[in-house]
Structure 1
Amino acid sequence: MNAPQHNAALPTILVVDDSPDILILMEELLSDQYNILTASGGAQALEIIEGSVPPDLVLLDCMMPGMDGYETCRKLRSSSAAGTPVIFLSALSSIEERLLGYSAGGDDYVCKPFDMPELIAKIERQLAVVSSKRELGNQLNEAVNAVMSSADMVGEVGVVLDFQRALNACTDYAGIAAQLFESFERYRLDGCIRIQGKMGMVSLNSKTTCTALELSILDHLAAQKPDPRIRPFGPHTSFNFGSIILFLRDLPMTRSPDMDPELAERHGRAIDNVALLIEGACTKVTALDNELAVRELNSTVIKMVSMTRLALADISAKNKAMSNEVQTLFESLAKDVDDSYMNLGLLSQQEEFLSGLIKSYMTAVIQALAKGRETEGKLGKVIEQLGHLK
């Protein structure tokens, strides 16, 4: 353990690792940006925490002799540093190892050998979360206390009914997730959720966006086959209903024979009630997606009707101009022919025949253009009817 001169303006990080080389390396790499404390084991780390002001963040090795990182983290969560973020450092990267870190109360997980920019980015993210939590801590505690106090007065069935009524006011996925977490709190449950559909995707826990560990767990659940929809996940339970994926901690689906029968029954009812809540939430997701699809379709129809109306108006104007031009041309032709009769030496019958022929063709062309205008009129009525459908 070392106790260098600290800069009060810098965050304090406690590095816990049984390797002296790692402790020296971490102090050299991080001391310019943070106050660094070091401990060679879990017991020494807890001693440091209890003997002074808790650090702002803990970098904790998973595999250590004696008290390992997971046990150290569990004890830390029961100490004065219960709210201090913990980033696990481990050479193991499987989902099982990450789940152990999540169950122990960790906030993030970095694999050895780690990339220093990545580690610093994760440290900064956790420090930012801590800062935000401190600002909202008092209000959050009051809200949680109010919810927990009212939970005893509402039955399990009432929670489901209240949730169904509250869904009517939800206009996006985040609102649905908020209502679900409010119901989970009344059941004394907590975890993380992902909702995905036409409106995008949200991944949230009961307080804010998911931590890195929670995101990795949700990704793991999303990659699994959806059947069965409800399955045990260690001492926890996962729900995969397609558009909604949920992970609830400390809700065992598999219950040991020595478990208290009343507690086992309560866990079973909780799983059934959560499934009902998710089914209702999935129905609301589908309804929101359908409303979005209808709005997009209406917008497309409106644009098409407007474009067609403009095109029809342009065609009508061009047809009218063409009709006037054709009539003018035929009248000019007839006049020129009449003026030329004197020079052609035609008989009166031939002149009448030629004039009549020109007039008949003019009449036929004008009638053909008139039929085109009739077609324009019918098309215009269809466009107006489409416009009323919006």
Structure 2
Amino acid sequence: MHNEWITPRVREIAPSGIRAFFDLSTGNQDIISLGVGEPDFVTPEHVRAACIRALNNGETMYTPNSGLLELREEIASYLHTSFNLRYEPTNEIMVTVGSSEAVDLALRAFITPGDEIIVPSPSYIAYSPITHLNGGVTVEVESSAEQGFKLTAEALRQVITPRSKILMVNFPTNPTGAVMTYEDWLPIAQIVKENNLLVISDEIYAELTYDSHHVSIASLPGMLERTIVISGFSKAFAMTGWRVGYACGDQELIAAMLKIHQYTAMCAPILGQIAAIESLRNGMEHKEHMKRCFDERRKLLVSGFRSMGLPCHEPEGAFYAFPSIANTGLKSEDFALQLLKEVGVAAVPGHVFGAGGEGYIRCSYAASLQKLAEALERIEGFMKVKL
């Protein structure tokens, strides 16, 4: 009835494919969900206690638009120590309502209608819809399991045109767990500089690497000033509901994003920012504990898929396995629907992550070993029927 009031760009974007499968499994105790990317750990007690103290002390007001300076200083110190990135906390870091807002702000601030935004595929589902909402054109660069789902210079060169403006990257990657090394980034950085591209680097899973150390493209020579680094506290610090993220970059670029932020969200919640400060100061032990647990689960899930005849790339980061289901002859959505209905396991069909995701399913191992073992047993029974 009121469809004519909705803008064409909004009408044209599809609802989240991840959320759709999550909703199908919600409320059914018999379903094991490997769908939503959320740690199954509660925010540590000392972080919650810090917020309770702050609440009791009446710390319930707005913060500066760019976030508490104390938090920005902690972020700057953490990024320097952990990833060799140097930012001035007063004007090169802004705190956002989760890393998702930071992605939205960056794309809104830098897209002019008609600009081409290069996105590796498969990749996180939000980049393309946000690009579309801002009049940009998403150009996918497909990657392959044979190459570890990495972005290659050869593939990148093939899609660059005079309209190319932004390279949007997410490593470690959702949904594949792919990781880029310094050597992997070198030719990519050269192409970026040759073509005067801006890089938006979503590094929300930076802390969750298992066999290597995260390398930010911004740490390469000449890349800091042409890269917006985005991250947050949801994944590695078990703070999804607190909604605290951040963006770092050249002060002029951050100022442009801040213009939008101050008229919309205004500031991230103060209690979330206080929780983030506490996490950076005293939460490293808990972060490392979660990482060790994820690593154990990762090994279980990958070996389980391989043993039942589903080829599975070794995820080196994040907390997702991305097994190929091509040998079943089913499309990824059909496979996921049948898996849910027949054996009660919820996984996300790979096609929602772009054309490069067809033929795969995404399974989160942010679940207990017991649940993962039960899920593998159910999937193996399912596969015996399908193969």
Question: Same fold per TM (> 0.5)?
Answer: no
| Higher share in helix | 1
**TM-score (structure 1 length as normaliser):** 0.24
Q: Which gives a bigger RCO, structure 1 or 2 (Cα 8 Å, sep 6+)?
A: 2
Rg (Cα) greater in structure: 1
